[in-house]
Structure 1
Amino acid sequence: MPSPKTFTKIADHFRERILSGELEPGAKLPTNREIAGQWQAAAATVSRALQALQVENFIRTTPRGTYVADDPRWTLSARDRLARVQRVKSFLAEGETSRVTAAELITPPLYVAEIFDLEAGDQVVRREWLAGRGKTRTVFAVTWYPAPFAALVPDLLNTAPGRNHGLTARVLEVTERTITHARDDMHARPADAREASALGLPVGSPILAGVHRWSDAEGIIEYGEWCLPPRFTIGYEYQP
């Protein structure tokens, strides 16, 4: 009997192909029998793997077969966005586009000033943006950077959507900084008015909200705050 690891490997294989864009919305997956043969797995193991992907809204099943969801309700975790920055110099998933709603140099709220270890009156770069896939809004985010970065990377204060996806990679390249520490924190709560408006939801709708901190020995390189619509799935692998 195949170990539970086989079920995990099958699910991970198709999840990664969907996340990478290799399997696009509407693409048909191999039959359960074909997957079982390819992985030398029992039919029950294949069914468990596909059921997990269906629960996560990556796929849909019909009498004609199994397909990638037409309107996938998933987006990338902060960890996976950083991995894409390192791999392809873009923090957007395949098929995602973004719209920048604000890009400014401001005196931040106290909690942000403390995160960046700023003195009173110091400024930071604040960027507010929304990403989506087709008509589906996938994430609403605010990202913050040290003020000196604005002189080195002028596009940090540019709202042109075509410049947004590669900014983290550009910051790392120009500043010659390397992210050596990353942390994500997440919690579920009701959407406030600003978040609800951005995601097209009623105020008070349940959302998953999170923050990421990407830093090196010199301090914070990027601090981000983000939230996802209800029933969206994110995930990432880790070594136990």
Structure 2
Amino acid sequence: MQIVSALKEVLKEGPVPLYYQLEQHLRERIVGGEFEPGASLPTEDAICSQYGVSRITVRRALSALQDDRLIERRRGVGSFVADIKGGMNNQLTGSLREFLAAAAALDTTPLSIQREPAPADVAKSLRVPAGEDVFRLKLVGSLEGQGPVAFLNIWVPLAVGTGFATSLRSEVPIVRQVEQALEAKLTRAEQFIEPDVAGAEAARHLGIAADRPILRVKRIYYAQPDTPIEVAYVRYHPERYRYAIDFKG
């Protein structure tokens, strides 16, 4: 009770909006380590009670934290502290249509598709229980005249149906086929780029050394209502892939 009373005294009526004060205080608690990465935040009702504010105020504060990628909000489940590594975190936005067009430029060759338990990081991204079965696809992406450019691992929910595995089309991006199988509408995608090493399996398909530095890209595709439908990890050939951004004033 003393903690709740103390939190209620943190926010003050005045020129600074309550939602902004709440956002800043929750931010300090997260950055300060009170909530570990992956930990759940108190429920909206609990935050309302702790700080003595309305649900609208709480939701605006949580939305701001989500926009800054400090938390992840899962419909019907709650809010969780994002697992963000230290260092600089740049966020860029762009057209989903252009993003998909770039992905479609690769000519993909399926290597395998199988049903298996979702790894913890994939389960978290797909918002399914860890260990729940999903479909996993392995593919090699090539460009004409260049050879193998990318090694892809893709996970999709079982809801795509058993016929999905036998009806893959190399000329259509996997996510578009998932979209059709689920009768869903793709609304957005997230992309995270990090340095890594190729690893034995990717190295074998890309024709490079296993310890060769590469760019590893993680993509999460969402359909309405903000439901993840595909998680992809892509390892790119270091001499055949370049990531360029054109900033215009």
TM-score, L = length of structure 2: 0.53
Larger Cα-atom Rg: 2
1:117 and 1:109 mapped to 2: Cα distance?
A: 12
Supply the distance in 2 between the matched residues of 1:91 and 1:211 (Cα, whole angstroms): 13
Counterpart of 2:125 (choices 115, 120, 131) is 115
In the alignment, what sits opposite 1:137? 148
RMSD: 2.8
* Residue 231 of structure 2 is aligned to residue 220 of structure 1: no
One-letter amino acid of the counterpart of residue 160, structure 2:
F
| Structure 2: unaligned runs, 5 residues or longer | 1-93
* 1:72-91 pair list within 5 angstroms: 83=98, 85=100, 91=103
Q: Which of 80, 88, 106 is equivalent to 2:116? A: 106
Alignment pair present for 1:165 and 2:171: yes
Match of 1:92?
104
Number of residues of Structure 1 aligned to a counterpart in Structure 2? 152
Matched, 1:199 2:206: yes
Shift of 1:185: 0.5
Deviation at 1:139, TM superposition (A): 1.0
| Structure 2 SS opposite 1:148 | helix
Distance 1:144 1:237, change over 3 A: farther
How do 1:1-240 and structure 2 match up within 5 A?
A: 83=98, 85=100, 91-93=103-105, 96-133=106-143, 134-151=145-162, 154-155=163-164, 157-158=165-166, 163-166=169-172, 167-216=174-223, 217-231=225-239, 232-236=241-245
State the SS of the aligned residue for 2:211: coil
Could you list the per-position Cα deviations for residues 111-131 of structure 1 after superposition, in whole angstroms to 9, with x for gaps in the alignment? Answer: 212222223542111111001
Residue identity opposite 1:219 in structure 2: T
Q: Secondary structure at the match of 2:152?
A: strand
**For 1:164, what is the secondary structure of its paired residue?**
coil
CA distance in 2, matches of 1:164, 1:121: 29
In structure 2, what residue type is equivalent to 1:204? D
Higher RCO structure, 1 or 2 (CA under 8 Å, sep 6+): 1
Q: Percent identity?
A: 18
For the 8 Å contact 1:206–1:229, the answer to whether it is kept is no
- 1:100/1:159 contact within 8 Å kept: no
d(CA) in 2 for partners of 1:206, 1:121:
30
Q: Distance in 2 between matches of 1:225 and 1:130?
A: 12
Distance 1:176 1:238, change over 3 A: farther
Matches of 2:171 and 2:130 in 1, distance apart?
31
TM-score using structure 1 length: 0.55
